[in-house]
Structure 1
Amino acid sequence: MEGLVISCGGSEARLFPLLGGAVGHWRWNGIDILRPASPGVGAGAGAEAMAGFPLLPYAGFLGNAELPGFGRLAPGAAPARPGLDGIGWQRPWAVTAAAADSVELMLRHGADRHWPFDFLAVMRFSLASDTLSTTLALTNLDARPMPAGAGFYSVFPIDAFTRFDSDWRGVWELGDDPLPARYHPVVRPAPRLALGWGVNSCFTGWRRAASLAYASHRVTVRAGSGCHYLQCRQSGPAHPEIVLAPVSHAPNAHQMRVPANHGLRQLDTGMRFIVSMSINVEAFT
């Protein structure tokens, strides 16, 4: 599967609308800013093998795939991981507009056993010479109010010298489920080496910016006002990559005592929720 290429100057991104609206790679002046898609793409691999993909109509794990009031959701394209990161990454998206440096995709979902609400999602990618911007709009088409969340899953390559920096006010440590297990407030964290961090957490009160400093350049992830949570996963020194996922709510917010206190939205019929993210790269001089 070849995908769809957008470019601007020395920047090129390859998108895969049919594989969950995923990003296969983004290269800047020949450097992989996102970890490129696994070699299996086009031979049965899905969005989870890609460099990034959208999270909707929820992000993170939904405990036991149970949606309160509706029971257990049916397994999707990843039956071993039901209730993970919504269904947007498991569905083909349609291309509704395309230019040399931008693409607009659309996903229309009819209520089913995987998600019991009708919705429309529109995602737009725009590429500048140093920035990849993504906007995701989720509209409830159902006659009933719909719980809603969204975000962006992105995988970045790291090495022994890559330094991570961000700011947040609290952390949900995730258990082996992986569902929120322990919460504690934190002061502003210090910059740290990314490789070997061994983190799997959701950070709350996130200030909507995080950076990775490499030897030759810095990559900065910025999110719009809809994403006050940052999910991070780095699996230790043997895994030279880190997942940074700006999201609108905590994992399993649907099953928490007051879901709205943990970022979950409720969209009435016709209401729209928009999240956005930009990834910028700058060379060190």
Structure 2
Amino acid sequence: MSTSPGSASTVCLEHADLRAEIDPRAGAALLVLQSQRGGHWQDWLVDEGLAASIGTPACFPLIPFANRVAYGALEQSSARLVANRPDLSAHPIHGYAWQAPWQVDDRDAQSLQLSYDGSDDPWPWQYRAALSVVLAPRELRIQMSLINLGSEAMPAGLGLHPAFPSKDLLGVTAETTAFLPVTDTGLPDAYMAGAQECADLAAGVLPYAGMDSDFDGWRNSVRMEWSDRVLELSSDPVFAALHVFRPVAKPLLCLEPVTHLTGAMATQRLPDIPAPPMLKPAEELAGSIIFRLLQP
């Protein structure tokens, strides 16, 4: 483990031919994921400049909710949340943990353990989050958890928001059961079981430019094939949906494993969208996401 020369707060992990850079002070963001190939380092995530073009780091956790809460109106609370990034969305978006510093609890050459106390953020419930990053041969594993520290039940959500370069990307393949198109507000307006978008994704067709939608019934694995490499992103079953974001005119694609659908926590929720996980006091929501890096 070393510190990146670019930032005093950035932690660099290395194992065999793999390395990663994480910034605990910037929302536990994974800034760099690289593998050694032919004497040089191959980037698997977008670079800092391209990530900044969509207003986020290259990869970051979504805690204590994923994606958007419609108009900040929560079904389980009278509290009304304000937009935390109005430049990105009129709705609260991506949770709060990605905008706050995390504490380093432990680290070695190939792993890092972080924690975050959410008592000062706008979420109406008290919680604590933990995140670990572990490198293994050709593999990076992110484990995250969320525990309810309050005295009443709390809606809870987890997710991860990695952005991948789409240049020379040939196909994206995943099994899903439903697609949720969105309006100009960024909120879903239908739950389409067996949609053509699901069939296209199963066949490896690239998501179309402008997609910013959930796929429900995700089978917890997605395969990305570039002209010269392959990445397999998998997760524990708790991540039941996959959010796909491909902005127009930007060479990137976000594939986001999430534990609940967009709008699940809001008062304005489609009938087919299930409520989010509810945690009893001291109960925990946890899961892992794995990046497997494959090359010919």
Q: How many residues align?
A: 276
1:252 corresponds to which residue? 263
Q: Find the aligned partners of 2:49 and 2:292 in 1 and give their Cα distance.
A: 23
Q: Find the aligned partners of 2:203 and 2:25 in 1 and give their Cα distance.
A: 40
Deviation string, structure 1 residues 154-196 (Cα, Å, up to 9, x no partner): 00012244211111000111222111112211264311135x5
Q: Find the aligned partners of 1:209 and 1:71 in 2 and give their Cα distance.
A: 36
Q: Does residue 84 of structure 2 align to residue 73 of structure 1?
A: no
Question: Which amino acid counterpart does residue 97 of structure 2 have in structure 1?
Answer: G
Q: Does residue 18 of structure 2 align to residue 5 of structure 1?
A: no
Of 126, 145, 154, the residue aligned with 1:146 is 154
Aligned in 2, Cα 1:226/1:260: closer, same or farther, shift over 3 Å?
Answer: farther
SS in 2 for 1:191: coil
Q: Which runs of 5+ in 2 are unaligned?
A: 1-6
Q: CA deviation at 1:211?
A: 1.0
Q: Does residue 268 of structure 2 align to residue 268 of structure 1?
A: no
Aligned in 2, Cα 1:263/1:102: closer, same or farther, shift over 3 Å?
Answer: farther
Q: Find the aligned partners of 1:183 and 1:260 in 2 and give their Cα distance.
A: 6
* 1:107-146 pair list within 5 angstroms: 107-110=116-119, 114-146=122-154
Q: Find the aligned partners of 1:257 and 1:200 in 2 and give their Cα distance.
A: 17
Q: Find the aligned partners of 2:193 and 2:273 in 1 and give their Cα distance.
A: 15
Note if contact 1:160-1:193 (Cα within 8 Å) is conserved in structure 2. Answer: no
2:4 corresponds to which residue? none
Note if contact 1:253-1:259 (Cα within 8 Å) is conserved in structure 2. Answer: no
Question: Which amino acid counterpart does residue 21 of structure 1 have in structure 2?
Answer: A
Q: Find the aligned partners of 2:233 and 2:169 in 1 and give their Cα distance.
A: 19
Aligned in 2, Cα 1:143/1:258: closer, same or farther, shift over 3 Å?
Answer: farther
Q: CA deviation at 1:111?
A: 5.9
Q: CA deviation at 1:37?
A: 2.2
1:179 corresponds to which residue? 187
Aligned in 2, Cα 1:83/1:56: closer, same or farther, shift over 3 Å?
Answer: same
Note if contact 2:26-2:99 (Cα within 8 Å) is conserved in structure 1. Answer: yes
SS in 1 for 2:161: strand
Structure number with the higher strand fraction is 1
Q: CA deviation at 1:74?
A: 3.6
| Large movers: runs of 4+ above 2 Å | 36-40, 45-49, 68-71, 78-82, 255-263
Q: TM-score, normalised by structure 1?
A: 0.90
Note if contact 1:138-1:272 (Cα within 8 Å) is conserved in structure 2. Answer: yes
Q: Does residue 60 of structure 2 align to residue 53 of structure 1?
A: yes
Q: CA deviation at 1:239?
A: 1.5
Aligned in 2, Cα 1:257/1:79: closer, same or farther, shift over 3 Å?
Answer: closer
Q: CA deviation at 1:272?
A: 0.4
Q: Find the aligned partners of 1:176 and 1:198 in 2 and give their Cα distance.
A: 11
Identical counterparts, % of pairs: 24
Q: Find the aligned partners of 2:190 and 2:240 in 1 and give their Cα distance.
A: 18
Q: Does residue 28 of structure 2 align to residue 17 of structure 1?
A: no
Q: Find the aligned partners of 1:141 and 1:59 in 2 and give their Cα distance.
A: 19
Of 42, 47, 64, the residue aligned with 1:31 is 42
SS in 1 for 2:104: strand
Deviation string, structure 1 residues 213-232 (Cα, Å, up to 9, x no partner): 01221101101111010000
Q: Find the aligned partners of 2:294 and 2:83 in 1 and give their Cα distance.
A: 41
Aligned in 2, Cα 1:200/1:230: closer, same or farther, shift over 3 Å?
Answer: same
Q: Find the aligned partners of 2:272 and 2:147 in 1 and give their Cα distance.
A: 18
Q: Find the aligned partners of 2:284 and 2:100 in 1 and give their Cα distance.
A: 20
1:277 corresponds to which residue? 289
Q: TM-score, normalised by structure 2?
A: 0.87
